[in-house]
């Protein structure tokens, strides 16, 4: 079962066009990816960085916006890893409201040491955790 992250879109997320401001939407997707790590690792980026000593900064993101997001429904973000490289991981995030696709996005992160920000391969337990969850990139 693919991880689903629920976001409560509210008044303050909307701009005068009465829809969620585009500048907020990448942050919604990132929160969903953080939630994916929490679900599978037992903690999100904060745990990763502070307790485990590594981070996964973003090197790329791309998003297509298919339908406006409003506070009328919860935003359900479906998150899955679609590629695990030597030192990188790629996520796909699909955002839906009331069954309607609102956005789809691709996000590429690299594994780094927390202090130095030097790129490094993920720890074996991370690789073992991610591999069975990989989905086809489509």
Interface of this chain with a second copy, residues 40 to 59, rule: CB under 8 A: 44-47, 49-50, 55, 57-59
Angstrom distance (rounded) from CA 107 to CA 95 = 14
Tell me the closest approach of the beta carbon of residue 26 to a second copy, in angstroms.
4
Angstrom distance (rounded) from CA 78 to CA 5 = 6
CB neighbour class for 28 (10 Å; exposed up to 12, middle 13-18, buried from 19): buried
Residue in this structure with the two tokens 């040491």, named with its chain if needed:
113
Residue in this structure with the two tokens 């829809």, named with its chain if needed:
19
Q: Candidates 69-77, 80-88, 92-100, 119-127 — which segment interacts with a second copy by CB under 8 A?
A: 69-77
- Chain centre to alpha carbon of residue 44: 11
Say how many Å lie between the first and final Cα of the chain, rounded. Answer: 17
Q: Candidates 4-12, 73-81, 85-93, 120-128 — which segment interacts with a second copy by CB under 8 A?
A: 4-12
Closer CB to a second copy, 2 or 62, in the complex: 62
Closer CB to a second copy, 18 or 127, in the complex: 18
Instruction: Out of 1, 2, 27, 120, name the contact with a second copy by CB under 8 A.
Output: 27
Q: Candidates 15-23, 78-86, 91-99, 121-129 — which segment interacts with a second copy by CB under 8 A?
A: 15-23
Angstrom distance (rounded) from CA 85 to CA 88 = 5
Interface of this chain with a second copy, residues 87 to 126, rule: CB under 8 A: 114, 117
Residue in this structure with the two tokens 């690299």, named with its chain if needed:
110
Task: Catalog residues that contact a second copy under the rule CB under 8 A.
Answer: 8, 10-12, 14-19, 21-27, 30-31, 34-35, 44-47, 49-50, 55, 57-65, 68, 70-72, 114, 117
């Amino acid at each position: 079962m693919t991880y689903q992250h629920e976001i409560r879109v509210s008044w303050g997320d909307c701009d005068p066009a009465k829809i969620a401001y585009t500048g907020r939407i990448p942050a919604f997707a990132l929160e969903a990816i953080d939630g994916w790590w929490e679900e599978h690792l037992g903690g999100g980026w904060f745990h990763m960085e502070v307790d485990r000593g590594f981070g996964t900064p973003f090197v790329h993101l791309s998003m297509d916006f298919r339908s406006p997001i409003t506070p009328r429904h919860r935003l359900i973000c479906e998150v899955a890893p679609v590629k695990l490289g030597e030192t990188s991981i790629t996520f796909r995030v699909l955002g839906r409201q009331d069954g309607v696709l609102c956005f789809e996005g691709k996000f590429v992160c690299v594994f780094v040491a927390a202090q130095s920000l030097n790129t490094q391969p993920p720890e074996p337990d991370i690789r073992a955790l991610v591999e069975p969850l990989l989905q086809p990139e489509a």
